[in-house]
Amino acid sequence: MSKITAAITAVGAYVPEYVLTNQILETMVDTNDEWITTRTGIKERRILKEEGKGTSFLAIKAAEDLINKKGLDPKEIELVIVATATPDMKAASTAAYTATSIGATNAFSFDLEAACSSFLYGMSVASSFIESGRYKKVLLIGADKNSSMINYEDRATCIIFGDGGGAVLFEPNEEGLGLQDEYLRSSGEGREFLQAKYGGSSYPMTEEALKNGEHFVFQDGKTVFKNAVFNMADVAVKILERNNLTKDDVAWLAAHQANKRIIDATANRIELDENKVMMNIQKYGNTTSATLPLLLHDYESQLKKGDNIIFAAFGGGFTWGSIYLKWAYNS
């Protein structure tokens, strides 16, 4: 009997309608389109403005897009994983609310949090459930409402982040397609360089912290940048070497969209042509857990059965890694 592999068999996505352009940001903080474009590659990002709508709104919309496109009966879904760094609420599972809302009433569900690597780690977790033979339909959603934790008076962070959601379905494959290999890492030494300090269990919210904006995301951009460039390139090289792949064997690089310069550096390190590098950071900015599925959604029509895709991500914690996946269908 051939080994069961875990393949992505459908993709869905959603981004909010409101477009926050560099020109609008120029009126909010001391910045300009030229600086943002040359330093990050970002032109605009989407923001979920409606009051009371959280990450689950993005997750539900992305999942519904997938369900409609695939013609999937949500009752067949056995597990829903919501990869996110911005859950709707503390103490209540965002995934449970999402699963019930999309009609996945036979599924169990949980949130998975690993900052910007949440979706990448989620690919590993979802695949394991399929490869083991335990489940046959696992829905992995990556969604983040980053605008809920951004200070729109801090030019170091507000220019980078956006809101969005993407979803993929993992199913068993007997042709050897789907997830082939992974190299996942983390180091707690990175915690101080990218975090929102107050409002969690270490530092519950205080009036003082709220007044000082210490519940917003803080980033030591330079340190995060250096670590992201080094580690994303490093894991991409490792996964190629380990699988005896040359740059010619790689059809696509799907890298976390945090900064165009980081993505370019990763592609250069593995000597990949520009036309093989998925890129949509210009439209959405950094959507944390949603960047990888949003790439798959935007490039889906160009992907061919058997294409070798190298995924790479880096995020807070620090967390990072790379996954090698063979695409399983022509759309």
163-173 and 5-14 strand pairing: antiparallel
Contact by Cβ (8 Å): 166, 296: yes
Catalytic-residue membership of 215: no
Burial class of 215 by CB neighbour count within 10 A (0 to 12, 13 to 18, 19+): middle
Is 297 one of the catalytic residues? no
Interaction with ligand UT7 in 153-182: which residues (CB under 6 A)?
Answer: 155-156, 159-160
Burial class (CB in 10 A: 0-12, 13-18, 19+), 306: middle
Candidates 172, 199, 221, 306; binder of ligand UT7 (CB under 6 A) is 221
Q: Does the annotation count 116 as an active-site position?
A: yes
As to burial, measured by CB atoms within 10 angstroms (0-12 exposed, 13-18 middle, 19+ buried), residue 308 is middle
Q: 3-state class of 323 per DSSP?
A: strand
Give the whole-angstrom CA distance, residue 258 versus residue 37.
Answer: 13
The residue range among 79-87, 93-101, 216-224, 319-327 that interacts with ligand UT7, by the rule CB under 6 A, is: 216-224
Strand 18-21 to strand 252-255: parallel, antiparallel, or no bridges (unpaired)?
unpaired
254 binds ligand UT7 (CB under 6 A): no
Choosing from 231, 256, 259, 297, the catalytic residue is: 256
User: Taking the complex as a whole, how short is the minimal distance between the CB of residue 232 and ligand UT7, in angstroms?
Assistant: 9
The reply to whether omega before 318 is within 30° of 0 (cis) is yes
| Identity of the residue, 31 or 128, whose beta carbon is nearer to ligand UT7 in the bound complex | 31
**Amino acid letter, 220:** D
218 forms part of the interface with ligand UT7 (CB under 6 A): no
Q: What 3-state class would DSSP assign to 166? A: strand
276, 299 Cβ separation under 8 angstroms: no
Residue 196 contacts ligand UT7 per CB under 6 A: no
Query: In residues, how long is the chain?
Result: 331
Q: How many CB atoms lie within 10 A of CB 130?
A: 24
Residue 152 interacts with ligand UT7 (CB under 6 A): yes or no = no
What is the closest distance, in whole angstroms, from the C-beta atom of residue 25 to ligand UT7 in the complex? 8
Exactly one of 58, 62, 63, 116 binds ligand UT7 (CB under 6 A); that residue is 116
The window from 13-21, 48-56, 120-128, 152-160 that contacts ligand UT7 (CB under 6 A) reads: 152-160
Q: In whole angstroms, what separates CA 34 from the centre of its chain?
A: 26
With CB under 6 A as the contact rule, the residue among 224, 253, 270, 278 that binds ligand UT7 is 224
262 lines the binding site for ligand UT7 (CB under 6 A): yes
Q: Which of 116, 227, 259, 297 is catalytic?
A: 116
Phi, psi angles (nearest 5°) of residue 227 = -65, -40
Total of residues contacting ligand UT7 (CB under 6 A): 20
20 near ligand UT7 (CB under 6 A): no
146, 20 contact by CB (below 8 A): no
136 is a contact residue toward ligand UT7 (CB under 6 A): no
Q: Residue 235, interface with ligand UT7 (CB under 6 A)?
A: no
Catalytic residues: 116, 256, 286
Using CB under 6 A, list all residues that contact ligand UT7.
Answer: 31, 35, 39-40, 116, 155-156, 159-160, 221-222, 224-225, 228, 258-259, 262, 286, 314-315
